Homo-oligomer: A and B are copies of this chain.
Amino acid sequence: MTVLAKSSAELGSESARSLYEKLSVRLKDIGHLKSISGLLQWDQEVMMPPKAAAARAMQSSVLAGLTHEAQTSPVLGSILEELEKRKQTEDLSKVLNPYELANIRIARHRYKEETVLPAELVKACAVLDSEAAGAWAQARKESDYSKFAPYLEEHVKLLRQKASYRLKSGVYEEARKINEKARASLGLKEGEPCYKGYYQALLNTYEAGFKDEQLQVLFNDLKENIVPLIAKIKAKNFQHDNSYIEGDFDVEKQTAFSHRISKEIGFDTEGGRLDVSVHPFTSGIHPSDVRMTTRYTINNFQEGITGTIHETGHSLYEQGRNKEYHDLPISDALSMGVHESQSLLWERMVGLSKPFWEYALPILKEHFQGPSHEKLQTVTPEEYYKAFNRVEPGFIRIEADEVCYPMHIITRYEIEKALVEGDITVAEVPGVWNAKYKEYLGLEVKEDRQGCLQDTHWALGLIGYFPTYTLGSIYAVQIFNAAKEAIPNLDQHIAKGEFHVLKKWLNENIHEQGSLRESGDDLIKDLTGKSLDSKIYVRYLTEKYSEIYDL
């Protein structure tokens, strides 16, 4: 690790270009350390023998400590400070290109974000995460919310502290303004607590630059339109036959099929791997080393291939990151929502489409022959498409179809925001949750394990994360629409398995753009001329499912 001995006084005599180069060396070292952390995590999920867990925890903790030291190094701070000063006296865009300027912006944001939190708070959060994870697992098993509630209470307390520090950091301006306005309108004095704007600060950890205000508008519109759509589908009381999706699907054959499809979509196996893990994920250790996982269920074929295509979408983003700026923040994905847009675009816009099954069904039939697949051999792409797109409200988010999914997210969003900002108490969560599932999905939650205890996110302090799933779906539709406009006959390309045209377009317009923009909304605006728009998403769902269910 390069240790720059120079003080900030000496930095004053260096050119902006030279300062940038110094910054760049440090950012790359931080990038390498994060790559190593990524490998440790992948290994833990996929390869590590079980007895190694305790030693791995120590290794990860030492590495996290070193990474934190590198990220909060006072020399790094001095370089950033000096570059900030330069902005006042010279036009940096004359010596640095937009990617380099974005590196400085992101580096400054991350530096502030890392340094503003007191070490004790960071430690307390880490301890709570691991304790709460255990408590949550137990509570879910027993379906006993009271066993988890004290940990959620503590999370809310610590997250408020986190948000409060962030508001003071100078890089969460939107959140700070909301809070200031609320305080003024409530006539609060210095020291009197006010948590308004805190959710904005938490949201921006995962979804850079996105406004909670805009999120609220989008989500309200989705509610208004999707709840009646679900009701309409339910009222039809009809399902397409999907018996050929269930049955006895040999795992080796599923594996071969999944590997073939992900490779034909464009996953570069020379710069990545596809393995199996309990929960599918993609680990972007480095654009030249992208490791994804899936899982196969013997009696249901859909899970494995859907998971594979979803993770392939994430992987194409990682493999497509800007080669000029590897290991630098600018080449990172813009936000969780934009990352999810890439997995969902391939999973839903492509993998759940008619043209895709025109391409994939013959390959599937090649892989699965014999007596247990007789029915599969006779099915048409049209029938297969409809069977693959069943809509059926259920309790569990991760099993939800694309129509019901947003309602799972909106429930969580409304509850976690109200919790952090003080509008409901931890004790009220199950009641609020169940009322919303009744209203949005028409379901009576009988047990908290199929209700507010189903997801691990809150146990890990991940508040502000859930909305990115649904932002990802909306981005995906708008991005795919833009791709369709830009690529003549995209549907025909997909039907022939010519995925490279779409991949190339996504590489150029999304992946290589990295974190050049300040928010996903800016990216969409530049790409389509329009802000993120729930109406477009609703139209997509309505048209697709009106045809499938003959509404």
A33: B residues at CB distance < 8 A: 62-63
Which of the listed residues A33, A65, A66 has the most CB atoms from chain B within 10 Å of its own CB? Answer: A66
Q: Is A270 an interface residue (CB 8 A)?
A: yes
Q: Which segment of A6-14, A41-49, A294-302 sits at the interface?
A: A41-49
A18-44: contact bitstring with B at CB < 8 Å (1 yes, 0 no)?
Answer: 000000000011001101100110010
Interface contact A273-B36, CB-CB below 8 Å: no
A313: B residues at CB distance < 8 A: none
Where chain A touches its partner, the secondary structure class is: helix
- Tell me whether A289 and B1 are in contact in the complex, defined as CB-CB below 8 angstroms, given that A36-B36, A59-B32 are known contacts: no
- Tell me whether A62 and B1 are in contact in the complex, defined as CB-CB below 8 angstroms, given that A40-B36, A52-B289 are known contacts: yes
A1: B residues at CB distance < 8 A: 62, 65-66, 69
Give the number of copies in the complex.
2
Q: Is A272 an interface residue (CB 8 A)?
A: yes
Q: Is A187 an interface residue (CB 8 A)?
A: no
A56: B residues at CB distance < 8 A: 289
User: What is the CB-to-nearest-CB distance from A173 to chain B, in angstroms, rounded to a whole number?
Assistant: 33
A261-274: contact bitstring with B at CB < 8 Å (1 yes, 0 no)?
Answer: 00000001111110
Interface contact A271-B58, CB-CB below 8 Å: no
A273 to B43, CA, bound (A): 12
Interface contact B273-A51, CB-CB below 8 Å: no
A28: B residues at CB distance < 8 A: 58
User: What is the CB-to-nearest-CB distance from A417 to chain B, in angstroms, rounded to a whole number?
Assistant: 37
Interface contact B65-A286, CB-CB below 8 Å: no
A272: B residues at CB distance < 8 A: 49
Q: Looking across the interface, which residue of chain B has its beta carbon closest to that of A63?
A: B36
A415 to B464, CA, bound (A): 67
A316: B residues at CB distance < 8 A: none
Q: Is A50 an interface residue (CB 8 A)?
A: yes
A327 to B326, CA, bound (A): 34
Q: Is A391 an interface residue (CB 8 A)?
A: no
Q: Is A285 an interface residue (CB 8 A)?
A: yes
Q: Is A55 an interface residue (CB 8 A)?
A: yes
Q: Looking across the interface, which residue of chain B has its beta carbon closest to that of A38?
A: B59
- Considering only residues 273-300 of chain A, those with a C-beta below 8 Å from chain B are 273, 285-286, 288-289
Q: Is A256 an interface residue (CB 8 A)?
A: no
Please list the residues of chain A having a beta carbon within 8 angstroms of any beta carbon in chain B.
1, 28-29, 32-33, 35-36, 39-40, 43, 47-52, 54-56, 58-59, 62-63, 65-66, 69, 268-273, 285-286, 288-289, 326-327
Other CB < 8 Å A-B pairs besides A32-B58, A36-B36, 6 of them?
A1-B66, A1-B69, A32-B59, A32-B63, A33-B63, A55-B289
A-B residue pairs in contact (CB < 8 Å), sample of 19: A1-B69, A28-B58, A32-B62, A32-B63, A35-B59, A36-B62, A36-B63, A47-B47, A48-B289, A49-B270, A49-B271, A49-B289, A50-B270, A51-B270, A51-B288, A52-B286, A55-B285, A55-B288, A66-B66
